[in-house]
Structure 1
């Protein structure tokens, strides 16, 4: 938050003024770097929190259907219809389970080209409504801009740095605008709309910054655990300390399905396994599967012609699939031939375990892989990850919120709040208000800098002609640099460049006056 520019000659040469000027310089450098990236983060974040409303409106012809009292077709049949609409060789990645009667069925496939495609099917008629590229749909693009500016790993590091420097900008801004002397809290918290021009911008910038500081800090701190460099290391350390996510909550499944020897080795029973309105001979079911499937006679079976195959997980939970990740999965025909359960059976198992809708069912990608149910609702306390044997239907691993470590629980709460999901529409609008408030701060800061910037000069606040002891500030910066090493390196670079610039400017001034 910028304070009126005052030349060195006008500043009182005392320690208070020196500390103030030092904080101002750091605030200036942090703001100068953060401004463009903060604007991008604010706009993309605001758009992304409204994803649940934007996507059904934008892709209404594919995502929305007329609610009906007709029975829904089996998911296996719908998946087969979806696969038939894609090029030969497309493999199934996940089934997006949503029981809303007005929503279409969604299946995510990996195409031979390597890209992923969502296929939408009317759950009542089985008609294919259309497709959407997972990588190129609007919200994926917005998400990539928000996380990495669509620049890959360098972009992730850049946005991580922007988040870290936002911390410096916010903390120094609070210190600069904090009431001191004869100033009151009323003057700090209430805008003076009687002002005009740059003084009005400065006042609005400072007042808004004080109001938005808590929200801005919360955004940064809840977003950093998902950053490309620091976040990954932070979660790894938390996991090693027993405070992170348990194995299988995020990442490769730590369990495997029990693979039958061969289909020819399985006994042929007299009575077929009844599934929905079709039957599958018991010779196709492993012995342990027939035992575990007792009492589950109403589950729909896989259809006769199956074109899809298992690959990797959905966009949001790409690490949840069972088994090592390979370039190809198992086709549904292969899954059926070796006795794997149809997806309808797995969906029924998940429902029995309390997970009924709004989750991703990741299909196994190899013979010993597992079905993975990835359920991440608005309330983190209800999060579940189920790993299910693809042959017997046995739940091999059930990971819920109570299995998380303390750090993982905090991250889950922070993520839900950060994405505007925890307390519904109010959370969405609060996130949007904070985001666009930060955008306005960045815009007013840029405008003030441009207005007062001397020609052919950076316009940084002048240094005090005296050194001021600021042990607390130095210790804080060192601690911040240790916690965030990438930021620590850039802080050293800024400090060194600033000293070099001051020496060069001082030398040039002396030569000019001689």
Structure 2
């Protein structure tokens, strides 16, 4: 760290000469990561993204329900694009591609949503955090593993972020052991490529970590974090993938797949998936354009179809599932209330959307 800026410094291992440096917290990657996670507007952006991702999950579930083949249509036919022109073609293209990628889309949504502040941080991650108190005899009352993250980036395994850090034992000897000693101990424990975090206080610890989250390793099942007493070098806690909860194990593997860290095939699948998402988004806009209220240039819903039976059933399917995602449920209730208030205060407003 230098003036609150995280740096990567390149050093010649033979001459101990600094060859160059690169800002981590002010890099293009950090910018993309923060934009992806918060729109660069902090907690408000995080919640906006959580709402959008929660709605995406609801759209996938109800979309599959509406796609499900009716009597007289086989599953094979439903999974194929049968129409060749008009709105029927765009509908088939939208629904068929959507169904084929639905499992991957749900996976991306859930693995991303687990980082969000409410559904992830306050619920799933909080319930799945590794209980450091069971491994270390003394832990901090307030400082968590999240404090080890480089500003602007997440490098600590998901299942440890909210876990409290161990504390070094206070003794008459206050001489801190050297970083070289910690590196040698870490290598003796089997670490090859890893990061070492320095103690942040008199009771802080040295932490050696190798995880797919920090890109030190590719295989998430090899995640390992070890904490050392800063005065004696004693191992205070040694946490590997095997000690993670089921949710933490799923997230460790899921996040590395989400970020394309499992090799070239992972990049190819993720790229094709992203292109498919762009395509079904475009087809959705095209279908709306073809059904938009004629003669009006308004961002309004098309006219209701005559047969609303399945549509109503999908709505009743959506409502209870939405309760699993607090911000999505709150957004739905908020929109319904605002809709009623606006139409009550200004009935003429309805004409803008009819």
TM range (shorter): 0.7 to 0.9
Counterpart in the other structure of 1:437: 276
Give matches, 1:102-117, under 5 Å: 109=1, 111-112=2-3, 114-117=4-7
Judging changes above 3 Å, is the alpha-carbon distance between structure 1 residues 366 and 171 closer, same or farther for their aligned structure 2 residues?
A: same
Give structure 2 stretches of 5+ with no counterpart: 142-146, 168-172, 212-216
Counterpart in the other structure of 1:292: none
Compute the displacement of 1:199 (Å).
4.3
Counterpart in the other structure of 1:57: none
Q: Deviations over 1:159-193 (max 9, x none)?
A: 1111100012112222222222433333322234x
Judging changes above 3 Å, is the alpha-carbon distance between structure 1 residues 478 and 344 closer, same or farther for their aligned structure 2 residues?
A: same
Give matches, 1:361-376, under 5 Å: 361-376=196-211
Contact 2:223 2:241 in 1 (8 A): yes
Decide which moves more: 397-406 or 217-226.
397-406
Decide which moves more: 499-508 or 216-225.
499-508
Compute the displacement of 1:338 (Å).
5.2
Contact 2:132 2:164 in 1 (8 A): no
Counterpart in the other structure of 1:105: none
Q: Which one of 144, 148, 170 corresponds to residue 60 of structure 2?
A: 170
Distance between the aligned counterparts of 1:500 and 1:458, measured in 2? 20
Counterpart in the other structure of 2:155: 317
Counterpart in the other structure of 1:410: 250
Q: Deviations over 1:226-266 (max 9, x none)?
A: 11222111145514xxxx322389xxx9269xxxxxxxxxx
Distance between the aligned counterparts of 1:175 and 1:498, measured in 2? 26
* Cα RMSD after superposing both structures: 3.6
3-state SS of 2:139 partner? coil
Distance between the aligned counterparts of 2:342 and 2:68, measured in 1? 29
Give matches, 1:458-473, under 5 Å: 458-463=299-304, 473=314
Judging changes above 3 Å, is the alpha-carbon distance between structure 1 residues 497 and 322 closer, same or farther for their aligned structure 2 residues?
A: closer
Contact 2:65 2:314 in 1 (8 A): no
Judging changes above 3 Å, is the alpha-carbon distance between structure 1 residues 121 and 494 closer, same or farther for their aligned structure 2 residues?
A: same
Compute the displacement of 1:409 (Å).
2.2
Compute the displacement of 1:447 (Å).
3.1
Compute the displacement of 1:484 (Å).
1.4
Distance between the aligned counterparts of 1:186 and 1:465, measured in 2? 27
Counterpart in the other structure of 1:145: 35
Compute the displacement of 1:216 (Å).
0.5
Counterpart in the other structure of 1:76: none
Contact 1:317 1:374 in 2 (8 A): no
Counterpart in the other structure of 2:326: 485
Which structure has the larger Rg over C-alpha atoms? Answer: 1
Q: Which one of 425, 428, 453 corresponds to residue 267 of structure 2?
A: 428
Distance between the aligned counterparts of 1:393 and 1:474, measured in 2? 59
Compute the displacement of 1:395 (Å).
0.7
Counterpart in the other structure of 2:91: 202
Distance between the aligned counterparts of 2:43 and 2:133, measured in 1? 25
Distance between the aligned counterparts of 2:60 and 2:199, measured in 1? 46
Distance between the aligned counterparts of 1:125 and 1:482, measured in 2? 60
RCO higher in structure (CA 8 A, sep ≥6): 1
Contact 1:121 1:127 in 2 (8 A): yes
Distance between the aligned counterparts of 1:131 and 1:248, measured in 2? 38
Matched, 1:231 2:115: no
Contact 1:346 1:393 in 2 (8 A): yes
Counterpart in the other structure of 2:132: 247
Contact 2:5 2:26 in 1 (8 A): no
Compute the displacement of 1:347 (Å).
1.4
Contact 1:380 1:416 in 2 (8 A): yes
Compute the displacement of 1:399 (Å).
1.2
Q: Deviations over 1:344-395 (max 9, x none)?
A: 22111112222221x2211112222111012213333321111011222111
Contact 1:313 1:321 in 2 (8 A): no
Compute the displacement of 1:489 (Å).
1.1
Compute the displacement of 1:448 (Å).
2.9
Counterpart in the other structure of 1:47: none
Contact 1:205 1:445 in 2 (8 A): yes
Distance between the aligned counterparts of 1:123 and 1:206, measured in 2? 56
Q: Which one of 353, 359, 364 corresponds to residue 189 of structure 2?
A: 353
- State the TM-score, normalized to the length of structure 1: 0.55
Distance between the aligned counterparts of 1:312 and 1:420, measured in 2? 23
Compute the displacement of 1:146 (Å).
1.3
3-state SS of 2:200 partner? coil
Q: Deviations over 1:414-470 (max 9, x none)?
A: 22322223x432223222222221122112212332344232333414346898698
Compute the displacement of 1:197 (Å).
5.6
3-state SS of 1:226 partner? coil
- State the TM-score, normalized to the length of structure 2: 0.78
Q: Which one of 159, 169, 175 corresponds to residue 339 of structure 1?
A: 175
Distance between the aligned counterparts of 1:467 and 1:177, measured in 2? 14
Contact 1:312 1:363 in 2 (8 A): no
